[in-house]
Chain A
Amino acid sequence: MFRLLKNLLLAMVMTMAASAPAFAAPPQTPTPNAYVLRVDGLACPFCAFGIEKEFAKQPGVEDTNVNLEHGVLVVTVKPGATFTKAQLAQLVKEAGFRLKAVVSRPTESTAATKP
């Protein structure tokens, strides 16, 4: 009886799990002149364009690229431009999202001074 119930419950859980989206790991490789940020809630081009719009206004930002599938934002900066984690978190917040982690930062040679 217990085995039957266990199998029933397992089947229900697996049915629900089958409907869940697959979560692939975001890219972890550091990019020489870019911040790689993991952002919560990135889902659609509206999110991508909104967050790109916010970063594009910042001096020192050369390009932004959102990977929706991995929830990752790559901010390419000009040589010498740097952002603190707090600054990055604030910009992400102003775009309506939450910074989960700074996955990687630009290497020392390109990030010498603040904008």
Chain B
Amino acid sequence: MKRASYWLLGVVVVLLLIVGIGWGLWVPSPREPPYQLVSSWGGAGSAPGQFHDPIGIAVAGGKVFVADSRNHRVQVFDRNGRFLYAIGHPGSGLGKLGRPMNLAVAHGKLYVADYWNDDIQVFSTGGTPLAVIGHRGSGPGEFKAPSGVAVLPNGNLVVSDFYNQRVQELRPDGAFVRQWGVTGKKGYVSHGMFNYPTDVATDHQGRIYVTDGYNDRIQVFDPDGHFLRMWGGPMGLHLPASVNVLGGLNGWFRTPTAIAIGPQGDVFVADEENDRIQKFTADGRFLTAFGTPPTGPGFTETGVAVANDGTVYSTNLMGNRVEVWKPGASR
């Protein structure tokens, strides 16, 4: 009996060591204080300034653009939350929106990934419809529920093509350049494969960041398209949602839905099912997390954007509002 006890104790000690080492390696401590919620605006409805499932968000030129998805429009506010104007009308075709998702603003243009119309709508930031890029399909330059869009320094577009399980790079006119992932084929472990990519972002060096939604990880590629790194959970490995009970740990995810790059190159991820925004260095080191807890069934932090002064804007899905966050005071 005594020998069995020592044997069992040994097993427990080894297990604790493994858990301890694993925890230190894969569950980092915050290096910054959490951001503080400083203001919010919105509410459920369809009137100007109200939302019905706000998803994507972008900030540029003193304006905040919000994809008001079930209201088929993008609403534009000043940075204090004052409603300015709405962009888009229900329907399909030039200037029409079905389910606008994640957004990008670059070079005076607003790019909207339209999940229901299977295209990218291009507007001036003032709201004039300029172009429609792509249509439904699985060929080069075609989409099946585009979920996010970003613009590279050379003007090319990068689009997360949700149901095609790929990320495409296109010229500004929509001509196909290349893709990551295999069209229509989910990948769970190896890099360069996706399991429903939800959003993309680019930094000033032309690196491409992808929220690999149901793989609960971020993948990063260099400007030449080569894989650089991935993170989220142990080594970025996919843990199926049903067993990813630890996805709420620092640096891990449960369905990341949006990604944005801050002015210092830091990476902000809307970690939707964990109701938080997580902040990382460009190489994936966890810095801090913050968000609004849900007040009932549903999830909160779904979209994220960062202004040039470091202010973070997020969409609170169940709260139907925009939230504004400032860096917390240093300890």
Contact = CB atoms under 8 A, between A and B. Distances in A.
Interface of A: 1-2, 5, 8-9, 12, 16-17, 19-21, 24, 41, 43-46, 49-50, 53, 67-70, 96
Interface stretch (B32-40, B240-248, B279-287): B240-248
Contact of A46 (B5, B9, B162): B162
Contacts of A43: 214, 241, 254-255, 272-273
Interface string B125-138: 00000000000000
Given A19-B248, A20-B245, A53-B116, A46 B213 contact: yes
B145 A53 contact: yes
Interface stretch (B73-81, B260-268, B294-302, B320-328): B294-302
5 contacts: A5-B9, A46-B257, A50-B115, A50-B163, A96-B163
A53 B213 CA distance: 19
Contacts of B257: 44-46
B9 A49 contact: no
A47 to B, nearest CB: 8
B91 to A, nearest CB: 14
A101 B245 CA distance: 23
A12 B19 contact: yes
Contact of B317 (A1, A2, A5, A45): A45
A112 to B, nearest CB: 31
Interface centre among A16, A41, A96 (most CB of B within 10 A): A96
Contacts of A5: 5, 8-9, 12
Contact of B196 (A17, A70, A96): A96
A67 B297 contact: yes
A46 to B, nearest CB: 6
A1 B69 CA distance: 59
Given A2-B5, A5-B9, A19 B246 contact: yes
B21 to A, nearest CB: 15
A106 to B, nearest CB: 24
A91 B172 CA distance: 34
Interface residues of B, number: 36
Contact of A49 (B69, B241, B245, B249): B69
B245 A19 contact: yes
B198 A46 contact: yes
Contact of A9 (B5, B12, B99): B12
Nearest to B257: A44
A19 B196 contact: no
Nearest to A50: B145
B101 interface: yes
Nearest to B252: A19
Given A8-B12, A53-B145, A46 B245 contact: no
B19 to A, nearest CB: 7
Given A2-B5, A5-B9, A46 B246 contact: no
B5 A1 contact: yes
Contacts of B5: 1-2, 5
B162 A50 contact: yes
Contacts of B210: none
Given A45-B317, A53-B116, A96-B196, A69 B297 contact: yes
A53 B8 contact: no
Nearest to B296: A69
Contact of B302 (A41, A45, A53, A67): A45
B252 to A, nearest CB: 10
Given A1-B5, A67-B297, A49 B12 contact: no
Contacts of B19: 12
